[in-house]
């Protein structure tokens, strides 16, 4: 489990394919404290550490993960939002995030709004039913509040700190991002289906 509060922006340093796809990710984390098998959210996708060294760790992604996320587009140099798994007693600063990406959204527009930036995304209709104004959503591993929902689009505001501390400050119109819908919305919708 995660909170959607990014604690490092790493970078892909190598990609190799041998069955699954292996990514080596450079990080400022002290990797001596990361166990093999530990979960790290990588731009929102929960991945297991399979190898590590000073200043880097490696993860593997299956075809399923590549097909449901933006990871298939990662190349050396791709910047990646990172968050280590939540520990009992940690502050829950964002919202409860599983690291299970539900789909990919596309940035439709980006415009200044005061000191912040308003981002508007297009999302598949089957996921839009889970997105609510003033609800939570995770975009590339970042916990955000939805500002508005219209048709197949939703908007969020990025404050200057978030723009600097995550990859969201660098995205451009047409870019794709990983989206995890709010866990509570998912379970409420499932319960309502049973009625």
What is the rounded distance in angstroms from the CA atom of residue 19 to the CA atom of residue 64?
12
What was the pLDDT predicted at 195? 56
Query: Mind listing the pLDDT tens digit for each residue in 157-195?
Result: 999 999 999 999 999 999 999 999 988 777 777 777 765
Query: Mind listing the pLDDT tens digit for each residue in 49-102?
Result: 999 999 999 999 999 999 999 999 999 999 999 999 988 878 778 888 999 999
b/e sequence 112-129, b meaning 16+ C-beta within 10 Å: eeeebbbbbbebeeebbe
DSSP codes of every residue in 147-159:
EEEETTEEEEEE-
What was the pLDDT predicted at 60? 97
Q: Which domains are delineated in the chain?
A: 8-84 (2.40.30.20), 103-193 (2.40.30.20)
- Predicted TM-score (pTM) above 0.95: no
- Nearest residue to 179 via CA among 107, 116, 89, 76: 107
Residue 34 neighbours by CB distance under 10 Å: 16
């Amino acid at each position: 489990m995660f909170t959607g509060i990014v604690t490092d922006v790493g970078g892909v340093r190598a990609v190799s394919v041998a069955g699954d796809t292996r990514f080596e990710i450079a990080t400022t984390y002290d990797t001596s404290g990361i166990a093999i098998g530990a979960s790290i959210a990588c731009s929102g996708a929960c991945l297991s550490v399979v190898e590590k060294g000073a200043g880097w760790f490696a993860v593997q992604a299956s075809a399923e993960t590549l097909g449901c996320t933006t990871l298939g587009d990662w190349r050396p140099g791709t910047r990646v939002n990172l968050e280590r798994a939540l520990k009992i007693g940690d502050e829950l600063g964002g919202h409860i995030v599983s690291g299970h990406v539900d789909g990919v959204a596309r940035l439709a527009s980006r415009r200044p709004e005061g000191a912040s930036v308003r981002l508007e995304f297009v999302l598949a209709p089957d996921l839009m039913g889970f997105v609510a104004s003033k609800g939570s959503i995770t975009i590339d591993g970042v916990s955000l509040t939805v500002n508005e929902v219209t048709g197949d689009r939703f908007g969020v505001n990025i404050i200057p700190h978030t723009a600097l501390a995550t990859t969201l400050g660098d995205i451009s119109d047409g870019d794709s991002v990983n989206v995890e819908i709010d866990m509570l919305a998912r379970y409420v919708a499932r319960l309502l289906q049973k009625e």
